[in-house]
A = this chain, B = another copy of it.
Amino acid sequence: MNLPPLAAIRVFEAAARHGNFTKAAEELGMTQAAVSYQIKLLEERVGAALFLRLPRQVALTEIGARLAPSMTDAFEILRAAFATMRESTEGILTITTIPTFAATWLVPRLGSFHMEHPSLAVRLKSTRDMVDFSRQEADVGIRSGQVKWPGLVCHKLFQADFTPMLSPTLAASIGGVKTPEDILKLPILDPGDPWWNIWFNLVGIDKPALRGDLRTRLGDQHLEGRAVLAGQGVGILTPVFFQSELQQGQLIQPFNVVGTSKHAYWLVYPEARRNVPKIRAFRDWMLGHIGEVKT
- Residues of A at under 8 Å CB distance from B? 1, 3-4, 6-7, 9-10, 43-44, 46-49, 52-54, 61-63, 66-67, 70-71, 73-75, 77-86, 88-89, 133-137, 272-273, 276
Instruction: Tell me if B3 and A82 are in contact (CB < 8 A).
Output: yes
Q: How far is the CA of A70 from the CA of B74 in the complex (A)?
A: 9
Starting from the known contacts A7-B7, A49-B133, 10 additional A-B residue pairs (CB-CB under 8 Å) come to: A1-B83, A3-B82, A6-B6, A9-B78, A47-B276, A53-B134, A63-B85, A66-B84, A74-B78, A74-B81
Q: How far is the CA of A75 from the CA of B75 in the complex (A)?
A: 9
Instruction: Tell me if B137 and A61 are in contact (CB < 8 A).
Output: yes
Q: How far is the CA of A1 from the CA of B75 in the complex (A)?
A: 12
- A84 contacts which chain B residues (CB < 8 A)? 66
26 intermolecular pairs with C-beta atoms under 8 Å apart: A3-B79, A3-B82, A6-B6, A6-B9, A44-B273, A46-B82, A46-B89, A47-B273, A48-B85, A48-B89, A48-B273, A48-B276, A49-B137, A52-B135, A52-B136, A52-B137, A53-B135, A61-B137, A62-B137, A66-B88, A67-B81, A67-B85, A71-B81, A74-B75, A74-B78, A74-B81
Tally of this chain's copies: 2
Instruction: Tell me if A70 and B62 are in contact (CB < 8 A).
Output: no
- A71 contacts which chain B residues (CB < 8 A)? 78, 81
Instruction: Tell me if A54 and B135 are in contact (CB < 8 A).
Output: yes
Q: How far is the CA of A62 from the CA of B54 in the complex (A)?
A: 49
Closest CB of chain B to A248's CB: distance in Å? Answer: 40
Closest CB of chain B to A96's CB: distance in Å? Answer: 13
